[in-house]
Amino acid sequence: MKTTNRRVNQTCGSPIRYSERLSEAEIVASVGSKGDSYDNALAKSFNGLYKTELIHRKGPWRNIEDVEWATLNYVDWFNNRRIHESLDYVPPVEFEAHYYHSNESETLAVLEMI
């Protein structure tokens, strides 16, 4: 019998069989609703960006430790210093802090009226 090193795409085959296999192995789907791990467009999008901006651009890598360290630095930059157009040109962490501060102020104003 001939074997090949072929990548298996989780979308191949029956979604029901896939869900059953996850359940048999006591594995919970990481994204999507219960029993539906196919709705992972956001994760795939980020993974593609990560590979394009870091892995392929900065490689070849000497060892796994170099990749791990670079990944930690990339995620730190991505969350704390990356300027994003759709976030009014501020880093995500700054945008999030402003969002929560604004909502906290609105909540406090409502509470003071009571």
Same domain, 50 and 70: yes
Q: Torsion angle, CA of 104/105/110/112, rounded to 10 degrees?
A: 110
- For residues 86 and 31, state if they share a domain: no
Amino acid of residue 86: S
Same domain, 28 and 46: no
Placement of tokens 């040109």 in the chain = 89
Write out pLDDT tens, residues 8-41: 444 445 677 777 887 888 777 665 565 555 556 7
Q: By mean pLDDT, which of 25-29, 60-64, 93-97 is the weakest?
A: 25-29
What's the total number of domains in the chain? 2
Return phi, psi of residue 40, to 5°. Answer: -125, 35
Q: Which domain holds residue 77?
A: 41-113
More confident residue, 93 or 40: 93
The answer to whether residue 24 is domain-embedded is: yes
Q: Give the predicted TM-score (pTM) of the model.
A: 0.55
| pLDDT score, position 91 | 93
Confidence of residue 44 (pLDDT cuts 50, 70, 90): confident
Lowest mean pLDDT among 7-11, 69-73, 108-112: 7-11
Picking from 45, 38, 100, the residue whose alpha carbon sits closest to that of residue 78 is: 45
Return d(Cα 14, Cα 35) in angstroms, integer: 12
The percent of residues above 90 in pLDDT, for the chain, comes to 36
CB 84 within 8 A of CB 90: yes
Do both 106 and 55 map to the same domain? yes
The per-residue pLDDT for 42 is 73
Average pLDDT, the chain: 77
